[in-house]
């Protein structure tokens, strides 16, 4: 039953539901509207959803404030991801869509799009996790105090060493599943015509995407779940969450094609999520970032050689 009785902040709880409901309704109206009226409804819907999800996250912080000191007291990582994704969508919709400052299919547009997503992650974690005291940066694996460069280098080397050997088995698995499912792996690398294009693509795939995703999925989400579930449960949930999120941008001309692409993406990303999560638990965020950078960088190199 929907009830406000006994809620820690009933007004905030009700506001979250109302704003989210209004945001979803406006978004559906915008999708169904004629082109001239589509943008205002979509923008209003995203803004309502942002406010509603932020209210829901704030409510969870208040509702969980009475938990044990060792338990996680912040907003749900799933809820935080939804908020971060909408913030990134608003930024990219403004820069790549409404203002059309960059071509989304070009290397510069790719970099700007991934920067928008990363900024959504950073804003959500800073405002709803760090500023509320749910987790400190040091509790999310980031080095603090007199962290020596040698130790960080060892952590990063460990992450790269355990991740790069997984590239070949993952590619073989992708090829096998693609053949069985009758789908082709998605190639998201834009056309590279100049050295600047190559630099922008490397920065997007091998720097911005790994840092932003590790900041959120390992540093925040896995650390939060580890408080309540323990290392093993957090590793499993974090890896599955990481894989599920990566299928959200799969598309296809038919349902079967889209479903096959989603299954392929999930099967390929899941092992990477386990490896990066394990590296994070062993050596902190430097290991998982370096592992992610090495993995994406190796895929870029192989793609360039294939082209």
Distance between CA atoms of residues 33 and 41, nearest Å:
8
Tell me which DSSP letter residue 146 carries. S
Distance (Å) of CA 105 to CA 80, 98, 186, 250, 279: 28, 15, 14, 16, 33
State how many domains the chain has. 1
**What pLDDT sits at residue 150?**
81
Cβ atoms within 10 Å of 66's Cβ, excluding its own? 9
Tell me which DSSP letter residue 205 carries. I
Does any domain span residue 253?
yes
Distance (Å) of CA 9 to CA 6, 53, 193, 214, 219: 9, 15, 55, 32, 28
pLDDT in tens, the chain (307 residues): 678 888 888 999 999 999 999 999 999 999 998 888 888 898 899 999 999 999 999 999 999 988 888 899 999 999 999 999 999 988 888 887 777 788 888 899 999 999 999 999 999 999 999 999 999 999 999 887 666 778 889 999 999 999 999 999 998 988 898 888 888 777 778 888 889 999 999 999 999 999 999 999 999 999 999 999 999 999 999 999 999 999 887 777 888 888 888 899 999 999 999 999 999 999 999 999 999 999 999 999 988 887 7
**What pLDDT sits at residue 97?**
75
**What pLDDT sits at residue 146?**
65
What is 58-101 written as a DSSP string?
A: HHHHHHTTTS-TTS--S--HHHHHHHHHHHHHHHHIIIIIIS--
**What pLDDT sits at residue 99?**
74
* Domain containing residue 292: 64-306
Does any domain span residue 284?
yes
CA-atom Rg of the chain in angstroms? 20
Residues 6+ apart with CB under 8 A from 152: 143, 286
Residues 6+ apart with CB under 8 A from 11: none
Does any domain span residue 26?
no
**What pLDDT sits at residue 147?**
66
Does any domain span residue 57?
no
Does any domain span residue 42?
no
Does any domain span residue 122?
yes
Does any domain span residue 256?
yes
Residue located via tokens 């935080």 = 80
What is 115-134 written as a DSSP string?
A: HHHHHHHHHHHIIIIITTTS
**What pLDDT sits at residue 261?**
87
Cβ atoms within 10 Å of 238's Cβ, excluding its own? 27
Distance between CA atoms of residues 278 and 284, nearest Å:
9
**What pLDDT sits at residue 151?**
84
Q: Would you say 272 and 144 are in contact if contact means Cβ atoms under 8 Å apart? A: no
Distance between CA atoms of residues 221 and 223, nearest Å:
5
Does any domain span residue 39?
no
Distance between CA atoms of residues 301 and 239, nearest Å:
25
Question: Which tokens sit at 35?
Answer: 């082109």
Q: Would you say 121 and 212 are in contact if contact means Cβ atoms under 8 Å apart? A: yes
Q: Which long-range contacts (CB under 8 A, 24 or more apart) does 243-246 make?
A: 243/269, 243/270, 243/273, 245/81, 245/217
Question: Which tokens sit at 145?
Answer: 């105090």
pTM, whole model, 2 decimals? 0.92
Of the candidates 6, 128, 133, 138, the one whose C-alpha atom is nearest the C-alpha of residue 78 is 128
**What pLDDT sits at residue 213?**
97
């Amino acid at each position: 039953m929907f009830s406000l009785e006994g809620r820690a902040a009933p007004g905030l709880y009700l506001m979250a539901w109302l704003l989210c409901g209004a945001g979803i309704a406006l978004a559906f109206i915008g999708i169904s509207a004629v082109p001239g009226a589509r943008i205002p409804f979509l923008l209003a819907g995203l803004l309502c959803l942002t406010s509603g999800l932020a209210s829901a996250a704030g409510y969870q912080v208040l509702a969980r404030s009475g938990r044990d000191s060792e338990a996680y007291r912040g907003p749900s990582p799933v809820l935080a991801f939804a908020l971060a994704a909408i913030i990134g969508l608003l930024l990219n919709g403004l820069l790549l869509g409404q203002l059309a400052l960059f071509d989304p299919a070009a290397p510069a547009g790719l970099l700007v799009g991934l920067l928008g997503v990363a900024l959504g992650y950073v804003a959500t974690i800073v405002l709803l996790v760090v500023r509320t005291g749910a987790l400190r940066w040091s509790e999310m694996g980031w080095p603090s105090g007199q962290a020596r460069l040698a130790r960080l280098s060892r952590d990063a080397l460990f992450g790269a060493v355990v991740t790069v050997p997984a590239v070949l088995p993952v590619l073989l698995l992708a090829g096998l599943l693609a053949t069985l499912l009758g789908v082709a792996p998605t190639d998201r690398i834009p056309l590279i015509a100049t050295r600047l294009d190559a630099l922008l693509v490397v920065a997007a795939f091998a720097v911005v995407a790994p840092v932003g995703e590790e900041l959120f999925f390992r540093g925040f989400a896995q650390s939060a779940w580890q408080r309540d579930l323990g290392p093993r449960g957090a590793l499993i949930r974090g890896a599955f969450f990481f894989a599920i999120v990566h299928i959200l941008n799969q598309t296809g001309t038919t349902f079967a094609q889209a479903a096959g692409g989603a299954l392929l993406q999930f099967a390929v990303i899941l092992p990477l999520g386990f490896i990066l999560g394990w590296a994070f638990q062993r050596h902190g965020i430097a290991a998982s970032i370096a592992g992610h950078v090495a993995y994406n960088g190796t895929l870029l190199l192989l793609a360039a050689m294939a082209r």
